[in-house]
Chains A and B, each alone.
Chain A
């Protein structure tokens, strides 16, 4: 028997991921041992501390990684400068995302008191009255973040799959925890879980094919086998390899949210609690694109012209399709979260445009794009969390006297676009920030989005893919339409504070919403709005007319996030040089 040789592990290289995952485990313990009152603050401190620690670790590793990629346990964990760059983006966006998660406008956070309770049941009502909070979201966010950080930093397809699951499973759970519109939230989680499993299956099937082809799950070995140097029994069966690559890419593109693997995005983004949506949209995309780059760039080195051409065809098709679907369908949306969801789909297309050349320039552009997009997205969803409905119920004079003639209850987010009319007047700064995020997503100069789009498109032009770049320009011009529509609505349209009869959303929107592709969940949405209204006072209230007005809640951590993101978007737009420089460093020897 051969003597067992214990592997030496470069703990420093693993430290960013380790800090986050360890904090997640610790978080679960805290959940069990800390009294309920103190839980939220303890969890918050731990989570923010862990993410900040991870960021510091990333910064400390930066210089070391520049010299040589760090390989741990034979490449199960492989830290390239690019991987580290993606980790930095993920951690920054997660930090901001956690702050939004921690926001409690009106004294209630965005999560259900007990997510396991049946919506509308007495048990749920009791939990709500007792003021329970589901502080498990913090460890869940940490686990997901850990998975995301691992995703682009591995040379091993099995590890890739594990990272995928580690990042996905907490997200499935998080999606189901919305405090309001419980059914919609649970439906979103179920959809995300089913479709996510489907995508995971595709990915693992692809891994199997690639293993069959190369006799190894290491990306480096597969690239060698593709180049015909390895000891594979099947060298030359490139079709098998191509099918494997295609399946793995499909699994990754699902997480990226690129068409035709995007179908889950709008529904899940709409149903999930908004802070989670923001976190998910920014970080998952960054991690998945990072993994895609890692996978494709490594294999591209070994591919012959034919196979490589095949992969390029995939990227071209998917990028084109994604941009078209994201922008065209986005135009007809009437719900702000769906607008942002389709915008996120379109952005996936723009990122893919930068990839087509498999070049260093492209990788640098991708990194910058992910950061610019992440900041704008987290910021935009943070804004969505604080624009709320308020229910003003007249209270009968006999009971309370004339002085308290009305009682206010803060309801859920006002996500229908019609409710956003005139928000600009109520909260000019918030609106300005939101407009900035939208303009950045549209790629208007002096915002981060412009530099990002410019980098992405010029990388494509460099690679000779100018038709794709032109298509990207056209798509982004069309996309401007729906961003500007929202801005116009907020700034220039007077607010429509209307009287609404019992238990319904403002009238203006309902028929329109039914006309869009909200179709599948329209029924659930109506149910959730109508039947699942979360407050006990609501049912106890007299059947008088209730006004539903859009209010902007008082500033909390979310406001801080909005300010930070706005500052970031502006800074990256005005003085992108230093960050572009970092992205350039990270893109050296990409694979």
Chain B
């Protein structure tokens, strides 16, 4: 490949943009945002050049690695700063840079009145650079650098409006929960190091077949833990909803289109490891299925338009995880759905941003309604995204989601029935909550004041915001069909994920498609009846236990607190308590035994130093006892 040397520029350009904007300070305020757009566009152009080059090659020569030299050497381990350009990474590169550029454009207008717009663009560029590093890396270690990089960028962007306390808390929550996932990735790397002695994709994935099932399962599960953290999958999903506190373009780029799909990327990239570990693979599918339903149920109850979309993202990534857990038959569809989802979900988020822009940053859908007339462009673009996510043919979502549902029905025993049914039911619920969102916002009677105090004057967003929405809407309509033509996308990914044998689902394909469409129509119709025809109460009505649970994210926070934070806090308190009471008081009691002799001594000394000395001596004795017990 002649243009392979361009790969580092993909990371370098946005990184340089971020550096100039951050170091330039206020001097770059005037033109900084355009520099950001330029850096992202340039990266996209480089991606296109690489794509053109790759397309000219025959399928088996499309995987190339470009090394910049040794990055670090620890003992026998050597890690290169190497970039891997292959169909999978290129797909991501194009998705990230294209959607990224559009969102940069959108942000120029959306953040126009923010004094810190330049800083915002610096962070956006930083994010793009880190994300590209993540997908282009040729080793788990370098991937991890990008992995943490997107985490840091996400942390900075969620907390961008740092004067709001909830943002600060949300940013921290996202960061900390992500660290739980990162721990999985580090442990997985440790295991690879131990088993393979290398961290490059080529070595590890090549050796995956030869690993014992136990090791492969352990690595697979740890990778899954990492993916769960990054992709907001059950049980590490709690941060995504809170992350919506950040600016809307951030939600569109990071928490819908790109970063949250990194987990899916990781699993598809590590496919050989998962294949060597059927148990891990099954767990991946189960996690996907659970999250799919979890997100869908939560999505039905949210009145905050962004949180409803976040729940939907969670659920759609659940579909991708499910597909990734199905084995070779699902990898291509997981990535395919990831791409189409990137378009329509980003479009939906930008639409939501446009609605918020029109409604003075209100996000409560119960106070929307009848906005279709006031915001025609937004309504149409969001409508197209809505049809795409519903999976209505011939919109994008149909081509990708329907394939996943079909793939879920393939297999033997109980699995196809369970996974298939979940995917099918999920599609129905998706239709319900997305229609609910759409109708509550654009249809029905308006539930906002147009006069008097708290009056709203909805108006369409400026052109710079409308343009990306329109482009993404066009993508939501056509992308799925275009990529499916002649099996195009699956063939394109074959050099990476391998060729999938065709298997027949346990139900005939036509029946699956029909069932899906029937459920989708039912869901949409129900939503239409409830939220477009009937009057939507402005205050959320008291409802049954399930709805209340769903409103509270199915009690994820209390559960997390009980399971994760409580033991830590208890342990901490115990240690502190023990240090103060047990150690001290034990010593005091010892002293009271020889009080007569010790009284004068004790008064002349600082009791606490003594307790420290006691700790030291006691510790020494304990260590000695341990040695004695274990060594002899």
Residues of A within 8 A of B (CB): 187, 190-191, 194-195, 198-199, 202, 239, 242-243, 246-247, 250, 254, 259-261, 263-264, 306-307, 309-310, 313-314, 317-318, 325, 328-329, 331-332, 359-361, 364-365, 439, 444-446, 451, 454-455, 457-459, 461-462, 466, 469-470, 473-474, 477-478, 480-481, 484-485, 488, 491-494, 516-517, 519-521, 576-577, 580-581, 584
Residues of B within 8 A of A (CB): 70-77, 141, 144-145, 147-149, 152, 159, 162-163, 165, 167-168, 171-172, 175-176, 179-180, 182-183, 186-187, 190-191, 193-194, 568, 571-573, 575-576, 579-580, 606, 608-609, 611-613, 615-620, 622-624, 626-627, 630-632
Q: Contact partner of A263 among B165, B168, B180, B615, CB < 8 A? A: B615
Distance, CA A467 to CA B69, complexed state (A):
32
* B623 lies within 8 A of A260 (CB): yes
Choose among A187, A313, A317, A492 the residue with the greatest number of B CB atoms under 10 Å from its CB: A492
Nearest CB of B to A464, in Å:
8
Chain A residues with CB below 8 A from B179, complex form: 477, 480-481
* B175 lies within 8 A of A306 (CB): no
Chain B residues with CB below 8 A from A481, complex form: 176, 179
Distance, CA A20 to CA B409, complexed state (A):
76
Chain A residues with CB below 8 A from B182, complex form: 477
* B612 lies within 8 A of A187 (CB): no
Nearest CB of A to B183, in Å:
4
Q: Closest residue of chain A to B159, judged by CB?
A: A492
Chain B residues with CB below 8 A from A451, complex form: 72
Q: Closest residue of chain B to A584, judged by CB?
A: B73
Q: Contact partner of A473 among B76, B175, B176, B186, CB < 8 A? A: B186
Distance, CA A246 to CA B191, complexed state (A):
32
Additional A-B contacts beyond A328-B572, A365-B75, A466-B190 (6; CB < 8 A): A260-B622, A488-B172, A491-B159, A519-B580, A520-B608, A520-B611
Nearest CB of A to B599, in Å:
20
* A455 lies within 8 A of B74 (CB): yes
Distance, CA A552 to CA B527, complexed state (A):
57
Chain A residues with CB below 8 A from B580, complex form: 517, 519
Chain B residues with CB below 8 A from A306, complex form: 631-632
Q: Contact partner of A454 among B74, B609, B630, CB < 8 A? A: B74
Chain B residues with CB below 8 A from A331, complex form: 568, 572
> A329 and B606 in contact (CB under 8 A), knowing A260-B615, A364-B75, A492-B168?
no
Chain A residues with CB below 8 A from B172, complex form: 484-485, 488, 492
Distance, CA A477 to CA B71, complexed state (A):
24
Nearest CB of B to A438, in Å:
12
Distance, CA A451 to CA B167, complexed state (A):
31
Chain B residues with CB below 8 A from A243, complex form: 624
* B576 lies within 8 A of A457 (CB): no
Chain B residues with CB below 8 A from A260, complex form: 615-616, 618-620, 622-623
Distance, CA A574 to CA B417, complexed state (A):
50
* B74 lies within 8 A of A332 (CB): no
Chain B residues with CB below 8 A from A466, complex form: 190-191, 194
Nearest CB of A to B629, in Å:
9
Q: Is the interface of A mostly helix, strand, loop or mixed?
A: helix
* B73 lies within 8 A of A491 (CB): no
- 28 CB contacts below 8 A, A to B, read A190-B606, A191-B612, A194-B609, A198-B613, A198-B616, A198-B617, A199-B616, A239-B632, A246-B627, A260-B615, A260-B616, A263-B616, A310-B631, A318-B623, A325-B575, A332-B572, A359-B75, A360-B75, A444-B148, A462-B75, A466-B191, A469-B190, A470-B190, A480-B175, A491-B159, A492-B171, A516-B576, A520-B611
Nearest CB of B to A350, in Å:
13
Q: Contact partner of B620 among A246, A459, A521, CB < 8 A? A: A246
Nearest CB of B to A522, in Å:
11
* A446 lies within 8 A of B145 (CB): yes
Chain B residues with CB below 8 A from A446, complex form: 145, 148-149
Q: Closest residue of chain B to A360, judged by CB?
A: B75
Q: Contact partner of A246 among B190, B573, B623, CB < 8 A? A: B623
Distance, CA A469 to CA B182, complexed state (A):
15
* A190 lies within 8 A of B609 (CB): yes
Chain B residues with CB below 8 A from A246, complex form: 620, 623-624, 627
Chain A residues with CB below 8 A from B159, complex form: 488, 491-492
* B579 lies within 8 A of A517 (CB): yes
Q: Contact partner of A202 among B76, B149, B620, CB < 8 A? A: B620
Q: Closest residue of chain B to A187, judged by CB?
A: B606
* A264 lies within 8 A of B612 (CB): yes
Chain A residues with CB below 8 A from B568, complex form: 328, 331, 478
* A580 lies within 8 A of B576 (CB): no
Nearest CB of A to B16, in Å:
14
Q: Contact partner of B162 among A317, A318, A360, A491, CB < 8 A? A: A491
Q: Closest residue of chain A to B181, judged by CB?
A: A477
Chain A residues with CB below 8 A from B75, complex form: 359-361, 364-365, 458-459, 462
Q: Closest residue of chain A to B182, judged by CB?
A: A477
